[in-house]
Structure 1
Amino acid sequence: MQSSSANARILIVEDDPEIGSLLALTVQESGMIATVAEDGRVMQSLLRNNEFDLIILDVMLPGEDGLSICRRIRSEKTTPIILLTALGEEIDRIVGLEVGADDYVTKPFSPREIVARIRSLLRRASYGLANNVDQRKLRFDGWQIDPLRRQLHDPSNARVALTTTEFDLLLAFCRNPGRIITREELLSLTHSGLAGPIERSIDVHISRLRQKIEVDPKTPALLHTVRLGGYMFTARVEQS
């Protein structure tokens, strides 16, 4: 993962040649490296032989659709994913987040918005690597979170895959245990900035996070919802 957006490698999965060329040009003019794949088959071949810092993935693709591809990528990799969709309904955006996307952009889009969202995700994915922040490992209920390597291990020491946003949220909670954190504060603590996930999306990401760390996600013991307040992480957190 690049420590900044300079020379970041961006994989664009888009079947419309005009949109794919526009995205590639936008990425390249911003100092990043763009590679375009027209479908999931070409994308998979590229992923086998190359490392990318971020993926822009169109939802409406020929053959395997973008949501299915996103779910498959997320089961194997933690690479940040931005979904590109012409669908404007909120339920469609929520489904995208539920299958593992970190963010989404609705067509038609502005080049400035795409670049802002790419830089936001890259900044969050590498936050702290070049900054003087506390990178000591944190432990809770047998779990271990490593801010430097951006890894989470369960009590059996198996690595648990998290999206960029899920990792940011869990790290924010571990650094603020026992405190009610509002959705607005979570956006700030995860360094999302203006280009990060909208406030409503926080709930979807937290639901996915609960699926991964709670014994019973429907009755969470670690990550509580506080009515009219936000969320509270109730586990005892220790540094190591």
Structure 2
Amino acid sequence: MQTRLLLVEDDPEIARVVRDMFVREGYIVTWATTGLEGWEDFQQEHYDLALIDLMLPEMDGFTLCKNIRWESDIPLIIISARKEDEDKIEGLDLGADDYIAKPFSLKELKARVESQLRRWRRYQGIPLNENVSTYQGGLTVYWDQNKIKIEEEESILTVKEFDLLKVLAQNPERIFSKEELFNHVWRQVDQEGLHTITVHVKSLRSKLKDPVKTPRYIQTVWGKGYQFIGELM
């Protein structure tokens, strides 16, 4: 199963950057903009780790950490512009596992999240390569290792092909236009990129052994774009 993160952050610029980075890395991210919304999201879904800002509307980060810790032992990382030692100590005393001060680098945040997840999985006795999805039809995706197997045979994807598979598979309800896929994966805005998407999707389908007329994984929605239709086992 893919790793689920709960991100509770009321600054949309920071939240979008953090969310998009972790989505590209293969995580499923739920973004809440208030402490109360974060608490409601936590009660409705299973999460592997939570990233929580301290200064939140409706319910502050301290209270949210306390509420979560009463019900779960998942890793909690506080992200905050407040650098006072008292805040850090209070957060850790309430059960947070780590504290990172704004501004922070995405590289550092990613490293801290991965470190906490490794500790948590060792504590739970979960293998470190558990971040795997298996779909009907013989497709297995190893999200942490950037590789796939099709009918038990490993298939080598390019970086861009794997990134395309990630964004499609992690948003199965959504139809992506070629422009959206090019903007997301290549991070560019260029009409010439639409042909690039066509070429890469064709190559990806070939490696997935996924025929256009009877697709199991990537469906063309004529006039709109592409949608992932693979069914999890």
The TM-score normalised by the length of structure 2 is 0.52
Structure 1 unaligned segments of length 5 or more: list them: 132-240
What SS is found at the alignment partner of 2:79? strand
For residues 77 and 35 of structure 2, what CA distance do their matches in structure 1 show? 15
For residues 57 and 29 of structure 1, what CA distance do their matches in structure 2 show? 20
Match of 1:67 among 50, 62, 69: 62
4+ aligned runs moved over 6 Å, structure 1: none
Which runs of structure 2 are paired with 1:227-238 in the superposition (5 Å)?
none
Match of 1:130 among 127, 141, 160: 127
For residues 13 and 101 of structure 2, what CA distance do their matches in structure 1 show? 16
Q: Is the 8 A contact 2:52 2:77 kept in 1?
A: yes
The letter for the 2-side match of 1:129 is I
The one of the two structures with greater contact order (alpha-carbon pairs below 8 A, sep at least 6) is: 1
1:180-223 residue CA offsets vs partner (Å, 9 max, x unmatched): xxxxxxxxxxxxxxxxxxxxxxxxxxxxxxxxxxxxxxxxxxxx
Q: Is the 8 A contact 1:53 1:79 kept in 2?
A: yes
Q: Match for residue 37 of structure 2?
A: 42
Q: CA deviation at 1:73?
A: 1.1
Alignment pair present for 1:118 and 2:113: yes
For residues 63 and 126 of structure 2, what CA distance do their matches in structure 1 show? 32
Q: Is the 8 A contact 2:82 2:101 kept in 1?
A: yes
For residues 43 and 67 of structure 2, what CA distance do their matches in structure 1 show? 14
Q: CA RMSD in A?
A: 1.5
Q: CA deviation at 1:91?
A: 2.2
Which runs of structure 2 are paired with 1:79-228 in the superposition (5 Å)?
79-127=74-122, 128-130=125-127
What SS is found at the alignment partner of 2:99? strand
Aligned residue pair count: 126
The letter for the 1-side match of 2:63 is S
For residues 99 and 21 of structure 2, what CA distance do their matches in structure 1 show? 17
Q: CA deviation at 1:113?
A: 0.8
For residues 68 and 49 of structure 1, what CA distance do their matches in structure 2 show? 18
What SS is found at the alignment partner of 1:44? helix
Q: Is the 8 A contact 1:30 1:115 kept in 2?
A: no
Match of 1:15 among 7, 10, 16: 10
Q: Is the 8 A contact 2:39 2:64 kept in 1?
A: no
The letter for the 1-side match of 2:65 is C
The letter for the 2-side match of 1:63 is E
Q: Which has the larger radius of gyration?
A: 2
For residues 37 and 117 of structure 1, what CA distance do their matches in structure 2 show? 20
Structure 2 unaligned segments of length 5 or more: list them: 129-233
Q: CA deviation at 1:129?
A: 3.0
